[in-house]
Each structure stands twice: as structure tokens, then as C-alpha cells.
Structure 1
Amino acid sequence: MEAPAQGREAGYVARLAEVHHALVAVRSVLESHNWDSYAGGGRAMPRRAGGRLHCDYLVEAPRGVLYHRYTLGEDLRVESAKIVTPTQLNVPSMEELSAQALAARPPAGVGDVKRTVEMVVRSLDPCLSCSVHRVVLEA
């Protein structure tokens, strides 16, 4: 059996599957109207305001907390959606720790800077270094 997608397409398929799973969970919460009995693996925090339903959803992911926020109209159609990934939450820490590591051990050249920053990034988010293109630094 052949994989349905390879390369970049596989990432898109995985993201779509994750969003689909989140939307199914949100719909389940919305339809149950019994917020205390929800057991979707995360924590849903729905609230009504101005005729709309707002739902924040937190779930622990392998690299940290995954946060979803949805706003639904009276017909329960999604009007807006925001997803904050663990990588987004880790970036400030990556920047701070990279600066600290470089200050503690001044680099001898561009190669040292690159290796130090890559080490910090991998320690906080091992998937990031494999999923993005590198920036080429010139001396």
C-alpha cells in the first residue's frame, strides 16, 4: 500500500486531519451542552457572547500545549478560527536560550553560531529543525 501523500503534501494532510479532529471535538462539545461531562482529551472552555459561541480548546501535544480558538455564529458555522501551535509558544524561549548559550560560549565563527542555535532549537522542538528550511548565514 502506498502512502496517500509524500513530502510537503504529507504535512498538509496531517494538519487537515488535526483540524478535522479538533472541529469534530468542538461540535461534540457544542451539541452536548453539558460542559462538565466532556472527555475529549483536552480542555474546552466555551462561552456565549453577543449571540456567538466562543470556544477555546487546549490539548497537550508532544511538543507542548496546542491551543485552538473558534467563534461560531448562531447557526454553529465557524466564523473565525485561530490555532497556536507549540512551536509558536516555544520561539521566545528558543531566542532567549540561544542568546544565553552564545553569550556563555562566544562563537569562533558562523559555523559555531549555527551549531549552537541548532542545538538549542532541537532541545526545545526536535521537529522544527526537520520541517523548515535553513537560513544561510554569510560571514
Structure 2
Amino acid sequence: MRAVIQRVSEASVTVDENITGNIGNGLLVLVGIEDADNDEDIQWLSSKIVNLRIFNDDEGVMNVSVKDCNGDILLVSQFTLHAATKKGNRPSYIKASKPDIAIPMYEKMITQLETDLGKKIYTGVFGADMKVRLLNDGPVTIVMDSKNKE
């Protein structure tokens, strides 16, 4: 499971001119799922996201997690995170899971993040053509892959 985590002052997702998810201070998380992902990947990645100390403390040092600062999370599925770009100029998405595998995993990730954060998280719409807006704070952007956890 691969994630791009961005610290934001605000972020939103719009589908067909309707806002499906909208947050203020918090994290925009783009997540890509592959067939090899399992519940252990979900638990590990969710815990890392919720506990990453990337928000400033009172002294301006990144030492506070999204959970500690009562921030929000906006989770957006993005199969293109598993693009293979070694050959040619047209990316291949063969490693990205098909919806029959990816949707249940995405839904488990939502549930796990809500459990770990202790409140509702906001989402895009799986498989939809989404317009994502964000105001990256910092900028702070971190890429994580559950297959590189050791």
C-alpha cells in the first residue's frame, strides 16, 4: 500500500461539482492499493499516518501528530501511485489492484483510520473523476510504502 501524505491548511474533493470531502487543518492522504496488500499493511500505514509528528508544536518544531492537534484526514484513492515508468513514456498500472480487490481494502483503510484517529475521516469517491484542491502547509509531503516498512 502506497501513500502520499500532505500536511494541509485545507483540502477538498469535488465529484460532478459536488464536494464529497472537505477539511481544514490536517492531512490529505492519497492512497494506492496493490494485490499484495493485506490487513497488516492497512494497520501499519494507518498507525504511521495518524502518529506522524509533522505538525508544529508551540516552538515551531514538527513534533505533533494529526491526532494530537485534533486535525482531520481526507483520504483519496489513487491507483496512479502504482505507475510503472521504467519502459517508454506511457505508464503501466498493472500493479494497481482492480476495484474488486481495491474497494474492500480502501473501505478497511477508512475504518482503520477512523479507529486510530478517534473520529470520522473524509473521503473522495473511489474510481470517480475527482478534482482535488489543497493548500499544502509547509510544504510538507511524505511518501510511504507499506512494503518498505523494515
TM-score normalised by structure 1 residue count: 0.22
Whichever structure has more helix as a proportion of its residues is 1
- Whose radius of gyration is greater, 1 or 2? 1
The TM-score, its normalising length taken from structure 2, stands at 0.21
